[in-house]
């Protein structure tokens, strides 16, 4: 079984994934890290050399590889998606058909607070607009997509990563309750 964690950058997908792994002993795959390892360069470098379209194509291929490798496992795998993964219709289809998708929903204020010191390393936040405006713009464009793909939505604004992980395990894998 694959549980995919979806949501906007800065909502805690990678950190919640690590907390689930620590609590349950499951395997964890971070899609962005997988792409960086496969490509031998950072997400920022991929964006700089090939643009968003090149990155999204790599992301789609990586997602298909991960699902093929982990989808038939009887053991739990947690897959932390990138913030824009589901904006590619083929990726959204792969996630909907092959994973139990959890949308880690956060308010714009939470995302702004979480990303204010980390925006420089995030290619999708690099533009002439103020950070707050860019986050609100992207969130408005993506929120419906996250909701449509989600099998479950967890509001994370007031949760620690461990609390979010526990909520996920309780609702999806009762036998793995911490």
Instruction: Record the tokens describing residue 137, joined without a space.
Output: 């713009």
Using the predicted structure, report yes or no on whether residue 178 has a pLDDT greater than 80.
Answer: no
Q: At residue 61, does pLDDT exceed 70?
A: yes
Instruction: Please say if the pLDDT value at position 29 is more than 70.
Output: yes
* C-alpha atoms less than 13 angstroms from C-alpha of 91 in its C-beta half-sphere: 23
Average pLDDT on 9-32 reads: 95
Condensed to tens digits (0 to 9), the pLDDT of residues 90-134 reads 999 999 999 999 999 999 999 999 998 888 888 888 888 999 999
Alpha carbon separation from 178 to 4, 18, 137, 146, 150 (Å, rounded): 19, 14, 37, 27, 23
Among 21-25, 47-51, 169-173, which stretch is predicted with the lowest mean pLDDT? Answer: 169-173
Specify whether the CB–CB gap between 20 and 104 falls below 8 A.
no
Decide yes or no: CATH 3.30.70.1380 for domain 2-176: no
Q: What is the pTM of this model?
A: 0.93
Query: In which band, very low, low, confident or very high, does the pLDDT at 40 lie, cut at 50, 70 and 90?
Result: very high
CA-closest candidate to residue 122, choices 8, 39, 44: 44
DSSP letter assigned to residue 68:
H
What band does 172 get if pLDDT is binned at 50, 70 and 90?
Answer: confident
């Amino acid at each position: 079984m694959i549980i995919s964690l979806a949501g906007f950058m800065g909502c805690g997908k990678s950190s919640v994934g690590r907390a689930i792994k620590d609590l349950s002993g499951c395997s964890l795959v971070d899609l962005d890290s997988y792409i960086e390892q496969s490509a031998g360069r950072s997400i920022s470098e991929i964006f700089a050399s090939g643009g968003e379209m090149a990155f999204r194509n790599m992301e789609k291929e990586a997602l298909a590889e991960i699902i093929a490798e982990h989808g038939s496992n009887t053991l739990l795998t947690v897959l932390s998606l990138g913030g824009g993964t589901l904006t590619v219709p083929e990726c959204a289809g792969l996630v909907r058909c092959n994973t139990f998708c959890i949308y880690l929903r956060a308010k714009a204020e939470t995302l702004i607070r979480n990303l204010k010191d980390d925006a420089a390393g995030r290619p999708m936040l690099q533009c002439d607009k103020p950070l707050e405006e860019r986050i609100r713009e992207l969130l408005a464009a993506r929120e419906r997509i996250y909701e449509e793909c989600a099998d479950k939505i967890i509001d994370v604004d007031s949760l620690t990563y461990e609390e979010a992980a526990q909520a996920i395990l309780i609702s999806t894998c009762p036998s793995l309750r911490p």
